[in-house]
Homo-oligomer: A and B are copies of this chain.
Amino acid sequence: MTYTFSNRIANLAPSAIREILKASSQPGVIPFAAGNPAPEAFPVEAIREISARLLAERPIDCLQYSVTEGYGPLRERVKADLSTRLNCGTDADSLIITSGAQQVIDLAAKVLCNEGDVVISESPSFIGSLNTFRSYGLRLRGVPMRDDGMDLDALESILKTEKQKVRFIYTIPQYQNPSGISTSLEKRRRVYELALRYGTLILEDNPYGELRYEGEDVPAIKSMDTENIVIYAGSFSKILSPGLRVGYALGPAPVLAKMTVGKQASDVHTTIFAQLLVEEWLRRYDVAAHIAALRVMYRAKRDLMCDGLAGTPLRFARPGGGLFLWCALPEHIGMLDFARRAVGRKVAVVPGSAFLVEEGESVNAVRMNFTTPTDEQLARGVEILAELLAEYSA
């Protein structure tokens, strides 16, 4: 039997970087390629206590079918928190619980886009979201990143050219993956204005916003959304647990209603036991203190990595938060060659080309993650990379 596949999936061919990513999951490899929370970042005692209590007091609620839009008290709590803490969301918005923020991306594409429609994204951007867009046969247009966010001239030029074909602008304004860049407040305002002027929606993805290591919070684009054009994706993956797969979407009620219909056809509802765990944690534990502790832990890891790489030919900006360091390589060091040699010495990094949006773009950089490795792995990995870089120069 020969199997033929849909065009949307045929588009998702494994890339050249797959071998590097595969090699990086071997035992003994220092994981600078991942994007996981540190093992010591999980509130294990809290989860134990909550889990035991839930299964003692209301086991059937943990195990029975539930509703597609998510557990009511969790939806209300998250919506209220986004309103008071981030000034996001109005009466015209609703909030649903999803199976991780990845599903928000999936559902937004599902309900808003037909094949061939255009989605505009920062370039480079999160490969998971880009692949989701590709899985719907969408045409991706990339806007180059500057130090303070998207190149607005390039963005406007695409909006002008593609007109009604553009369904939304996908952006990660805070501690962007992979670049680490935070979009300035002024640029957030301009992106919002451009979206309004050209009649398109914005999909604002903010998985890392709470992991701020210095400076002040910059308002989310969603907080400016007087015209109800922003869908905001959030997640508990980075502050509580990615394995539970609990995220959420806040956005215009009619769009969220359609996303709920789409979700029902995808997975009926998000694991209800996981939703109950998250709700109890938010309600009964000191989440702010937990996040403060994460910030201290990750700030130290970021500094270990940045300080260790300071004398090397890698050029990077110390990110103010998030998980990633984006390192430009000098011309004479090829990104793929460097990544291959690094993994040969048991340090896994991701070649920057993985994150490019359009064919024909090029980059000579690698992405490194500083939250997954232990402090010892960080110190040792950085040492190995520095040695490797020195050999190129020799």
Report the copy number of this chain in the oligomer: 2
Within 8 A of B (CB), among A64-104: 64-66, 99-100, 102-103
* A135 in contact with B265 (CB, 8 Å): yes
* B63 in contact with A243 (CB, 8 Å): yes
- A170 → B minimal CB distance (Å): 14
User: When chains A and B are docked, how far (Å) is the Cα of A135 from the Cα of B258?
Assistant: 11
Interface stretch, picked from A174-182, A270-278, A330-338, A344-352, is A270-278
**Is A262 in contact with chain B by the CB < 8 A criterion?**
yes
- A163 → B minimal CB distance (Å): 14
* A245 in contact with B270 (CB, 8 Å): yes
Interface stretch, picked from A52-60, A282-290, A307-315, A319-327, is A52-60
With A39-B60, A99-B99, A128-B264: A229-B1 Cβ-Cβ less than 8 Å: yes
Residues in chain B near residue A262, CB distance under 8 A: 9, 12, 135
* B265 in contact with A244 (CB, 8 Å): no
The A contact surface, by secondary structure, is: helix
* A111 in contact with B6 (CB, 8 Å): yes
* A115 in contact with B112 (CB, 8 Å): no
Residues in chain B near residue A8, CB distance under 8 A: 110, 114
User: When chains A and B are docked, how far (Å) is the Cα of A385 from the Cα of B3?
Assistant: 50
Pick from B7, B39, B47: contact of A114, CB below 8 A.
Answer: B7
User: When chains A and B are docked, how far (Å) is the Cα of A66 from the Cα of B243?
Assistant: 7
**Is A37 in contact with chain B by the CB < 8 A criterion?**
yes
User: When chains A and B are docked, how far (Å) is the Cα of A135 from the Cα of B110?
Assistant: 9
- A23 → B minimal CB distance (Å): 15
Pick from B42, B113, B131: contact of A59, CB below 8 A.
Answer: B42
* B12 in contact with A64 (CB, 8 Å): no
With A47-B63, A110-B6, A113-B6: A245-B258 Cβ-Cβ less than 8 Å: no
User: When chains A and B are docked, how far (Å) is the Cα of A134 from the Cα of B271?
Assistant: 24
**Is A255 in contact with chain B by the CB < 8 A criterion?**
yes
* A3 in contact with B63 (CB, 8 Å): no
* A65 in contact with B1 (CB, 8 Å): no
Within 8 A of B (CB), among A168-223: 201
Residues in chain B near residue A66, CB distance under 8 A: 243
* B241 in contact with A6 (CB, 8 Å): no
Pick from B114, B135, B242, B268: contact of A245, CB below 8 A.
Answer: B268
With A1-B227, A241-B63: A12-B47 Cβ-Cβ less than 8 Å: no
Q: Could you list some 18 contacts between A and B, CB below 8 A?
A: A6-B112, A9-B111, A9-B261, A9-B262, A12-B262, A39-B64, A48-B56, A48-B59, A64-B243, A103-B266, A115-B115, A128-B264, A242-B268, A243-B271, A245-B272, A270-B271, A271-B273, A274-B274
Contacts from A to B (Cβ < 8 Å): 1, 3-9, 12, 34, 36-37, 39, 42, 44, 47-48, 51-52, 55-56, 59-66, 99-100, 102-103, 106, 110-115, 128, 131-132, 134-135, 201, 227-229, 237, 241-245, 252, 254-255, 258, 261-262, 264-274
Given A8-B110, A99-B267, A106-B265; 13 other pairs, CB 8 A cutoff: A7-B114, A39-B60, A44-B59, A48-B59, A51-B55, A64-B242, A65-B243, A103-B266, A106-B266, A131-B264, A135-B262, A245-B270, A245-B271
